[in-house]
Amino acid sequence: MSGSASNSAGGTSASLPPRSKNSAGNRTNIGWEYGTNVLGNGKKVKCNYCSKINNGGIFRFKHQLAGTRYDFEPCVSVPEESKALMKKVVSDAKDASAKKRRLTNLEQMDADEECGQSFSSSKNIFKNKSTGEGLQATLNQMYKKGDKEKVDAQIAEFFYTSAIPFNAIRNPAFIKMCDMIARYGVGYKPPSYHDIREKLLKQAMEKTDVVLEEYKEEWKRTGCTVMSDGWTDKKRRSICNFLVNSPKRTVFLYSLDTSDISNTGDKVFKMLDNVVEFVGEENVVQVVTDNDANFKAVGDLLMQKRERLYWTPCAAHCIDLIFEDFEKHLKVHEITIKKGRKITTYIYGRTQLISILKKFTRGRDLIRSGVTRFATAYLALACLHELKA
């Protein structure tokens, strides 16, 4: 019998509907610790502090204890600690309600987008007649305001942890990437390591080849200039970059490791001749290289073979060589440059002097002479003159 009664009772309690959090018998609502249910239905609550009977249920009673509603008469007998607790309870409930509404609205907007509704039609549907502003725009401004700070912080963390230069954020491709991710919406997953290393890289190369074909058509119409730029990387390898300039734009062609051929005339000639062949002899007006002796000799050979083009020394390199001759052949230049180098070497060899320097120059550094760029010696003197005070 007892077993049957137990099962029956258990079945009865399981079939009852869930209790409201504001109901009189629900002790999880903290408001019932400060008030008493009068009629049993939870609509009239007697205050345990002032014995006043309040209409409107436990929700209204909590606001009366907290004193947060201008249309509710607050309880004057409630202690400050209980009043502060009720304020926190009311505030938390308000925030939870706002968050629930926000999630509901976002889910509705996602559902509308999946049904294929355009932005213009959505704006017309949610048009506010009194203010003329769309409800959609208002919701976006309200709910995205707090999220933007979190998104900005996450983007910044990505830059910091990946050691990405800060000026990369000015890249138009980065702005376009963020816009496309936003348009895709919730649920976007970035490409995998394999995709970005293989598939997407090949697609980018194919896209670049298509763009290069457009430039080649421009080269046929207007002619172009082939430019070589030699430099040395951190591993002391000699690298030569080849670029093509036309009225449309300067484009990078390719680069070669010239460590074993930079001082060999016939190999340098073959290298430049291959570049001209790749671009098309009929399209090339001139070839620009450094003014070194080997490049000058190769330039003459190139003009003998390719009679339609000219070899031209690099103007920047010519100016650099002129500065080198100034230092070598003019005594006053040689002495002045040596004194300037002594000053910068002396300062940057001592940590305390660097600290004092930046204090008086407001964080600016001195320009120091480069080993292979003679123009930097004069830039260094100009910097010393500017900051001499």
Angle between helices 80-114 and 135-161 (to 10 degrees): 100
Region 223-240: mean pLDDT is 84
Return mean pLDDT, the chain.
78
With contact defined as beta carbons under 8 Å apart, do 46 and 34 qualify? no
Task: State how far the Cα of 299 lies from the Cα of 291, in Å rounded to an integer.
Answer: 10
CB-based contact 24:40 (threshold 8 Å): yes
As a whole-number percent, the residues of the chain with pLDDT over 70 amount to 78
Query: Which amino acid appears at position 109 of this protein?
Result: M
- Per-residue pLDDT tens digits for 67-77: 776 456 677 77
Q: Kindly report the pTM of this predicted structure.
A: 0.50
Secondary structure letter of residue 199 according to DSSP = I
- With b for 16 or more beta-carbon neighbours within 10 A and e for fewer, the 110-123 pattern comes to eebeeeeeeeeebe
| Amino acid in position 37 | N
Domains and CATH numbers, the chain: 19-117 (no CATH), 124-163 (no CATH), 208-313 (3.30.420.60), 320-386 (no CATH)
pLDDT digits (tens, 9 = 90+) for 360-385: 888 888 887 765 567 888 888 888 88
pLDDT band at 320 (very low <50, low <70, confident <90, very high): confident
Quote the DSSP letter at residue 46. E
Tokens 């990505």 — which residue?
A: 158
Q: What is the pLDDT of residue 130?
A: 45
User: How far is Cα 52 from Cα 68, in angstroms, rounded to an integer?
Assistant: 18
Which residue matches tokens 């010696």?
A: 377
Percent of the chain topping pLDDT 90: 16
- What does the pLDDT average to over 46-56? 75
Pairing of strands 250-257, 238-245: antiparallel
Q: Mean of the pLDDT values across residues 292-314? A: 87
